[in-house]
Chains A and B, each alone.
Chain A
């Protein structure tokens, strides 16, 4: 039950963040989508034994998170919640790939360890990017951007409605699960029979709701077309934002900046 409420709250909270009014929130959703996709593309394009070149990419979240006013504690909580999955998918690397890859002093580090670490870093960067995108764009912003990128209207519209009704149906689901739990007294009432009936009812209610929503749409003259007043016009700041980041990502991708810095530093010391 706790996790039911949690996933709903998470969604709720991210949605709440997206109603903020920072400089980032005001940018055109399209450039934000492009920038984040560029970021992810650059991050995952490294080969698997790469670590140091990935690190400069942390500048992106480091800059975006404070500018967008995203609470770091919330992000950490979410991140830690997801971390076990990343560990699960990466843990096989150190097991299957034991060949020594590098030496730190006398210590041999296996290739698997390196690639495992690399997976964790990729994971961190990519999920942070996704959260940042939603937190500064909002889901409807993303839908609008998709529509502008010529994604079919049917898809965009039902995506928008899906999001709208998540809030209604999730709270219905949470309340029904609550009602079941209150009269269950432990595990007994949580078996498959009440579950099926509960889900069945939720489905029937949903079905009726869809009919009513459709009637409401027809009552307002709906004939297959959705209009939305949302004049999207690229401003200079939008273009600069996007190009500046993409340029940085390319630089980060091409040059192993930590290595360069490291050489300078160690070289200076030696």
Chain B
């Protein structure tokens, strides 16, 4: 599942962007050091392949629904972790731009959830350990299945954490986890089976394909310790960033502007308070962190029912007016552009 822009806060989005960008830089360096420039066209074309493959479905027996190839794991198996991570990131970039899968700000999260886990956890620590250097259909099956399941479980858990840290949804942690993990278990099993079958197919047809990365990548594996470090850094980064931001500067943008303009007080006091309350609760990882407005309101001494009522009525009127204005502007421009072009 993709994270969506609509669910994300700038702090989480920005932090995950930074983490993913760092990983992209690191992997690019590794691929370059590899000195196998054959990989560049191969990566591009394989990315396109993942796209094409995702367009084809099959019928899942006995369910009537249909499935397709996931991509992350098979790329890692065929290209090795570094190249695979770059390709997965690229596929996600195209999906975010052209199909609005996720969104631009959520891209960092998605790259991490769908790229890091398969490429640097599932493949090297599970698949690789099981298949080793002696591929056989049985090993490929076990390896793929376990790797896909664990990779997806981690990815799904990433989605849960990032969403909750952002605090846009009201879904309680436990419910969210109880919803996401089982769904992704199913998806993981299907992906694992399909990946195993396709890998076995090409392995039989052209064993050379599976040898490529072994022969070129100097040490294709990140060690468990390194993985743990990256994970920790990412978590610390996100968590630390969020809580620091929340406590020091309740609302990032306003804080920044305040700094720039030197303005002491901002009008939207209740926004700040509200955000503060939310973020503090969130960063504490409380199971039922869902913010009750009455509590938030209680925390805001100057605010009682009446002004809020006033705000909402005038807000509705003003909002309606604003929207109408926007649409009018659009139509006027449309007319003009239709005339002049």
Contacts and interface: CB of A to CB of B under 8 A. Distances in A.
Is any CB of A less than 8 Å from a CB of B in the complex?
yes
B137 interface: no
Contacts of A164: 44, 48
B48 A165 contact: yes
Given A52-B315, A104-B316, A261-B322, A159 B90 contact: yes
Nearest to A109: B312
Contact of B308 (A102, A195, A202, A256): A102
A270 to B, nearest CB: 10
A41 B105 contact: yes
A158 B194 contact: no
A102 to B, nearest CB: 4
Given A47-B271, A162-B91, A203-B202, A7 B99 contact: yes
Contacts of A92: 169-171, 175
B266 interface: yes
Interface of A is mostly: helix
B55 A170 contact: yes
Contacts of A11: 98-99
A163 to B, nearest CB: 6
Task: Report the contact-size class of chain B (Cβ under 8 Å from the partner).
Answer: 35 or more
Contacts of B53: 173, 199, 202-203
A219 interface: no
A248 interface: no
Interface of B is mostly: helix
A49 B274 contact: yes
A160 interface: yes
User: Which of B57, B97, B170, B294 has the most chain A CB atoms inside 10 A of its CB?
Assistant: B170
B126 interface: no
Given A51-B319, A103-B309, A119-B7, A62 B253 contact: no
B55 A173 contact: yes
Nearest to B197: A196
Given A50-B271, A82-B100, A250 B49 contact: no
A194 B197 CA distance: 11
B51 interface: yes
A263 B319 CA distance: 11
A199 B56 contact: yes
Nearest to A226: B40
B59 A122 contact: no
Contacts of A160: 44
B277 to A, nearest CB: 10
Interface stretch (B145-153, B214-222, B329-337): B329-337
B47 A158 contact: yes
B315 A200 contact: no
B31 to A, nearest CB: 5
A190 B69 CA distance: 14
Interface string A172-215: 11101100000000010011101111111011101101100110
A224 interface: yes
Given A63-B330, A213-B41, A261-B321, A69 B52 contact: no
Interface string B297-341: 000000001001101111111110111011101110110110001
Give the 9 A-B CB pairs with smallest separation, nearest first.
A161-B44, A262-B318, A262-B314, A258-B318, A152-B28, A195-B58, A200-B201, A165-B48, A162-B47
Given A164-B44, A258-B322, 16 more contacts: A10-B98, A99-B294, A104-B312, A111-B293, A152-B29, A154-B31, A155-B24, A162-B91, A163-B48, A169-B49, A170-B52, A177-B56, A190-B58, A202-B56, A259-B311, A260-B318
16 contacts: A36-B104, A90-B169, A103-B309, A111-B170, A119-B7, A126-B104, A155-B28, A158-B90, A191-B59, A196-B198, A202-B52, A204-B206, A213-B41, A254-B268, A258-B315, A262-B314
